[in-house]
Homo-oligomer: A and B are copies of this chain.
Amino acid sequence: MTLANGRPYLAIPGPSVMPEEVLRAMHRGAPNIYEGALPDMVAGLVPDLRAVARTSGHVAIYIANGHGAWEAALANTVAPGARVLVPATGRFGHGWAEIAQGLGIEAEVIDHGKRAPVDVSRLAETLAADRAHTIKAVLATHVDTSTSIRNDIAALRAAIDEAGHPALLMADCIASLACDRFEMDTWGVDVMVAASQKGLMVPPGLGFVFFSDKAAAARAALPRVSRYWDWAPRADPQMFYQYFGGTAPTHHLYGLRAALDMIGAEGMEAIWSRHATLARAVWAACERWGADGPLELNVADPALRSHAVTALRIGAPHGTRLRDWVAREAGVTLGIGLSMAEPGSAEWHGFFRFGHMGHVNAHMILGLLGSVEAGMRALDIPFGRGALDAAAEVVAGGCPAPSVQPAKTASTGRRGASAASLDG
């Protein structure tokens, strides 16, 4: 007997759960890619993507995953032989640096380990020391999916500005976009990369590079950019065929349209609040469990934790046993611990992650936490009590009680005016 045979829940940090609306929109015959409804639709994607990224800048859509978007961002801004600075706070900081090196760029990594955010003063010192301005860009991970550390991107900009350094500020928002608050223009980000399969709720296959005029100027100054990555022809959706550097990602575009409709209907402030509250529910449970057991949040300071992914430590072999148990007995797939220990080593089995990004609601998170507690109990892993009540309490508090009169159209409804005032 297993209790897993119902609707499976994939709680890994991407690809995330796809809304029914997105998958349904993608289930259609091939469209004409030269004229008609599809090309007409694409122009409308751009302003909606900008709204998600909080920018009035440019955006290029690539048929690629996040690694491709990383490469595209660099290919358009930094020449081979030039230098970038990468303050890494997890696997994905290092990953972006490796992409840079693959392009012949000199990537200087400042390694902050696996549990600490970017040390802004150290960054400031390095930039100050670069009097020749050989550093062309600072590559920062907003949220590192492996460690779940969330960095203060605005503070990085301030440091760069204070140092009077002309380096571009690039942010990797692959894990965070449409989950954690991100304000591209306000925070002074020059280039931002994202992908479809996390907060945007679309299957993997689209990468996005948002860029400022300053970044566009850097592109213009390069002698050459590879055709596939060149963002210049992707600036004008009227040139549909050129826009995608060849055949368009037809079905993903329909999915993206559906996802942006859902995002637009909910609103960015509401989306960020939802993720923040659900993340607090996760943390509340984990802190209670950890009060009397081996489970530990990877990031100690709540202000530095992502709202989209939570990295956990529980000691080997508990991590792998727990993941196996909840998959096999409760229908939940947890994320493996990434880069926390050598794959194949004993320690590797002591880590795991929760993804809580995109199409995620209170029911899913409370079911996830309940399943994990059941697993720890079944596996005789010690844990502190009261975790599920604590999570439910966060959920309860996150949503002010309705007025006396029950709403008539509750079943599919969203809250309007009061939510707006809450966000204000």
Interface residues, chain A, CB within 8 Å of chain B?
Answer: 1-10, 12, 14-20, 23-24, 26-37, 39-40, 63-68, 71, 75, 98-99, 102-104, 195, 197, 203-205, 224-228, 230, 244-252, 262, 266, 269-271, 273-274, 277-278, 316-317, 320-321, 323-333, 335-336, 343-346, 348-349, 358-371, 373-375, 377-380, 385-386, 388-389, 391-393, 395-402, 406-407, 409-419, 422-423
Q: In the assembly, what is the distance between CA of A24 and CA of B399, in Å?
A: 34
Residues of B close to A374: CB separation below 8 A: 362, 366, 392-393, 395-396
CB distance from A378 to the nearest CB of B (A): 4
Q: In the assembly, what is the distance between CA of A278 and CA of B407, in Å?
A: 31
Residues of B close to A400: CB separation below 8 A: 378
Residues of B close to A362: CB separation below 8 A: 3-4, 6, 329-331, 367, 370-371, 374
Could you give 28 example pairs across A and B, Cβ below 8 Å?
A: A5-B262, A5-B271, A5-B359, A5-B361, A6-B364, A9-B363, A10-B30, A12-B34, A15-B250, A30-B203, A35-B411, A65-B247, A71-B227, A103-B227, A205-B205, A321-B423, A328-B412, A349-B422, A349-B423, A366-B371, A370-B395, A371-B395, A374-B395, A377-B396, A378-B397, A378-B401, A379-B401, A389-B389
Residues of B close to A317: CB separation below 8 A: 406, 422-423
From A224, A230, A401, residue with most partner B Cβ within 10 Å: A401
Given contacts A26-B26, A64-B63, contact A328 B35 (CB under 8 A): no
Q: In the assembly, what is the distance between CA of A417 and CA of B406, in Å?
A: 49
Q: In the assembly, what is the distance between CA of A65 and CA of B274, in Å?
A: 36
List 14 other contacts, CB 8 Å, given A3-B398, A328-B414, A378-B395.
A1-B273, A3-B277, A5-B271, A5-B414, A6-B360, A15-B31, A34-B336, A65-B249, A66-B246, A203-B249, A323-B413, A328-B409, A370-B388, A375-B396
Residue of B nearest to A238 (CB): B416
Q: Does the CB pair B367–A366 fall under 8 Å? A: yes
Q: Does the CB pair A402–B250 fall under 8 Å? A: no
CB distance from A172 to the nearest CB of B (A): 12
Q: Does the CB pair A416–B35 fall under 8 Å? A: yes
Q: Does the CB pair B413–A401 fall under 8 Å? A: no
Copies in the complex: 4
Q: In the assembly, what is the distance between CA of A68 and CA of B103, in Å?
A: 16
CB distance from A390 to the nearest CB of B (A): 10
Of B23, B325, B402, which one neighbours A28 at CB under 8 angstroms? B23
Q: Does the CB pair A204–B359 fall under 8 Å? A: no
Residues of B close to A346: CB separation below 8 A: 422
Q: In the assembly, what is the distance between CA of A64 and CA of B204, in Å?
A: 12
Q: In the assembly, what is the distance between CA of A165 and CA of B262, in Å?
A: 58
Q: Does the CB pair B2–A19 fall under 8 Å? A: no
Given contacts A65-B247, A371-B366, contact A99 B228 (CB under 8 A): yes
CB distance from A279 to the nearest CB of B (A): 11
Residues of B close to A364: CB separation below 8 A: 6-7, 331, 367
Q: Does the CB pair A249–B370 fall under 8 Å? A: no
Q: Does the CB pair A395–B3 fall under 8 Å? A: yes
Q: Does the CB pair B3–A406 fall under 8 Å? A: no
Residue of B nearest to A12 (CB): B32
Q: Does the CB pair B331–A361 fall under 8 Å? A: yes
CB distance from A311 to the nearest CB of B (A): 15
Residues of B close to A31: CB separation below 8 A: 10, 15
Residues of B close to A245: CB separation below 8 A: 65, 67-68
Of B5, B63, B335, which one neighbours A205 at CB under 8 angstroms? B63
Q: In the assembly, what is the distance between CA of A64 and CA of B227, in Å?
A: 13
Q: Does the CB pair B370–A413 fall under 8 Å? A: no
Q: Does the CB pair B27–A10 fall under 8 Å? A: no
Q: Does the CB pair B373–A392 fall under 8 Å? A: yes
Q: In the assembly, what is the distance between CA of A316 and CA of B349, in Å?
A: 50
Residue of B nearest to A224 (CB): B104
